[in-house]
Amino acid sequence: MSLLPAPLGPVRPDFLTRVTPAARLVAGMTWLVASVVTLDPVVPVRLTIAALVALVLWSGLPLRRIPSRLAPLGFAILSLTALSILLSGANADRSLAALVQLGPVRVTGPAVSAGLAIGLRVVVIGLTTVLVFGPSDPTRMADSLVQQLRIPDRFAYGTLGAMRVAPFLADEWTLIAAARRLRGIGSGGIGGRIRDIGDRLLVMLVGAIRRAERLALAMDARGFDSGIRRSHFRELRATWRDWLTIATALAIAVAALILPR
Amino acid sequence: MSNVVPIAGTSESARWRTVDIIVVAILAVAFGIVFWAWDVYIWPWASFLTSPAEYAISGVWLLPAVVAPLIVRKPGAALFAEMVAAVISVLLGNQWGLDVLLSGFVQGAGAELIFAFLMYRNYGPIVAALAGAGAGVGEALHDLPVYYASYDVQYRAGIFILDVISAAVIAGIGGWLLVRSLRRTGALGAFPSSR
């Protein structure tokens, strides 16, 4: 049993799964930018609705698994919203009427509005991220980045190789803890626990480097660094679906920003 | 690209060998896992209980941008490592999603500029601290408008100052100490930094 969350599968074929990952990334970035450039909560509300529609109709993702996947983010979003309202500069402005006044704590309308905009911004980013990364696996993402966005291939595929090691690293983290407990290493208190985490991190990194060196040797033995131009096993090309996705996302982002309330 | 197999004598050059790429990528994956746990289980509580003082521990996010260049000593190491760690934390699922790709880019670029300014020749503790601070400036320039746009100006100034100090101390000096510990274990034998 791994410490890491499982990928969001199984994905059934649908419109967004046939769009190349690079196109989904570009489309997602337009929503990210649109939600970040404004403190008007209406913009992230509109983008949240658009993202939910896309998720239900075109993503091919197992919808039942999405709420539990996004649940851990709820606390972070609520906390950021509350803090953005409480620590807002608008609260100190005496010309604004206070919505709430509790001793020294004063909350004004603009503070609430901006706080909601920032909290909803994170909701938009979370849903958009699911739409960008959910419909295909990292291998297809790497293929797409290399072929369409011209990311250097040795770095992209090297990273893909390294990613396969992630579950082993997470297992090793628990294994190191067990080994240390068995030997009676470790100390109490906050300082001691931080030291313990540092020591465990060092052991995990040493293991990671040794594993990386073996992997690099194996990859070189198979000609990874031959210098010969790489051909592609899975050819990816932009299709009308890609351009439609990017154009639609951009149009929605612009509409969300400029349409009157 | 040459098809000459790199040998010991050429390892000081700017060209990335497979072992450089894979070691940086795997270290970044390890940091990405740490980031994910940090993002989901530690940061929200630190933020909720102490904001904006939580930025005193924000330097943890910048460790790959200092650790990777200190180990492989290649141009681009800070940016590559920070981006990979960012991608991993996104794929595992954190509250900032796609936006972490932007964070990773500006953080990595901040450290990269410092190493580039020194022509990729100096990797001592002072340079490490400066590179950490550079990454911290990048982090603050991204986080302030995106997440703290409504905060009062004194809190925003506090976030900036804490971020840069934390970056220099935790990522810079901490990263340098971590690489020194790694070197002492003998794990870095494949790299010029161990000689």
Tell me the per-residue pLDDT of A68-107, one tens digit each, with 9 for 90 and over: 878 777 888 999 999 999 999 888 887 887 888 877 788 8
Q: Which of B26, B92, B187 sits opposite A4 (nearest CB)?
A: B92
Contact status of A168 with chain B (Cβ, < 8 Å): no
Residue B28, min C-alpha distance to chain A (Å): 9
Query: What pLDDT score does B2 carry?
Result: 46
The stretch A10-37 carries a mean pLDDT of 94
Query: How many beta-carbon contacts under 8 Å exist across A and B?
Result: 189
- Closest CB to A79: pick one of B44, B52, B188: B44
Look over chain A and give the mean of its residue pLDDT values, rounded to a whole number. Answer: 90
Question: Long-range contacts: B165-168, Cβ < 8 Å, 24+?
Answer: B165/B56, B165/B136, B166/B55, B166/B56, B166/B57, B166/B58, B166/B59, B166/B136, B167/B58, B167/B59, B167/B62, B167/B132, B167/B133, B167/B134, B167/B135, B167/B136, B167/B137, B167/B139, B168/B59, B168/B129, B168/B130, B168/B132, B168/B133, B168/B136
Instruction: Kindly state the tokens that stand for A133.
Output: 């990364």
pLDDT at B143 over 70: yes
Q: Which of residues 101-130 of A touch B (CB under 8 A)?
A: 111, 114-115, 117-118, 121-122, 125-126, 128-130
Q: Which domains does chain B have, with CATH numbers?
A: 15-190 (1.10.1760)
Q: Looking at residue B9, what is its pLDDT? A: 44
Average pLDDT of chain B to the nearest whole number? 90
- The arithmetic mean of pLDDT across residues A43-51, rounded, is 96
Residue B10 above 70 pLDDT? no
Residue B6 has pLDDT above 50, yes or no: no
Percentage of chain A modeled with pLDDT above 70: 99
- The answer to whether A158 contacts B147, with C-beta atoms less than 8 Å apart, is no
pLDDT, greater one: A51 or A68: A51
- At B58-69, the pLDDT tens digits run 999 999 999 999
- What are the sequence ranges of the domains in chain A? 15-136+237-258, 153-221
pLDDT per residue as tens digits for the range B146-195: 999 989 999 999 999 999 999 999 999 999 999 999 999 999 988 987 76
**Contact (CB<8Å) A228/B3:** yes
DSSP state at residue A96: S
Using an 8 Å CB-CB cutoff, list chain A residues near B85: none
User: Looking at this protein, which amino acid is placed at residue B87?
Assistant: V
∠ CA B104-B109-B114 to the nearest 5 degrees? 140
**In the predicted model, what is the mean pLDDT of residues A225-243?**
90
User: What was the pLDDT predicted at B35?
Assistant: 92
Report CB contact under 8 Å: B80, A83.
no
Continuous H helices in B38-173: 43-50, 63-72, 77-92, 99-117, 125-147, 153-166
Is the link from the previous residue into B6 a cis peptide, with omega within 30 of 0?
A: no
Test B19 with A77 for CB contact under 8 angstroms.
Answer: no
Summarize pLDDT for B92-109 with one digit per residue, the tens.
888 888 999 999 999 999
Predicted pLDDT at B8: 46
List C-alpha distances in Å: A207 to A174, A193, B52. Answer: 13, 21, 36
Q: What is the mean pLDDT of residues A227-251?
A: 92
| Chain A residues 65-104 with CB within 8 Å of chain B | 69, 72-73, 75-77, 79-80, 83-85, 87-92
Mean pLDDT over residues A5-15, rounded?
82
- State in Å, rounded, how far the first CA of chain A is from the last one: 50
Distance CA A10, CA A136 (A): 10
Place of tokens 């020294």: A104
pLDDT mean over A112-124: 94
CA distance A251 to chain B (A): 20
Query: What's residue A3's pLDDT?
Result: 67
Query: pLDDT, tens digit, for every residue of A236-247?
Result: 989 999 999 999
Better pLDDT: A243 or A229: A243
Q: Which residues of B are less than 8 Å from A47 in CB distance?
A: none
Greater confidence (A181 vs A155) lies with A155
**Once rounded to an integer, what is the mean pLDDT over residues B79-101?**
92
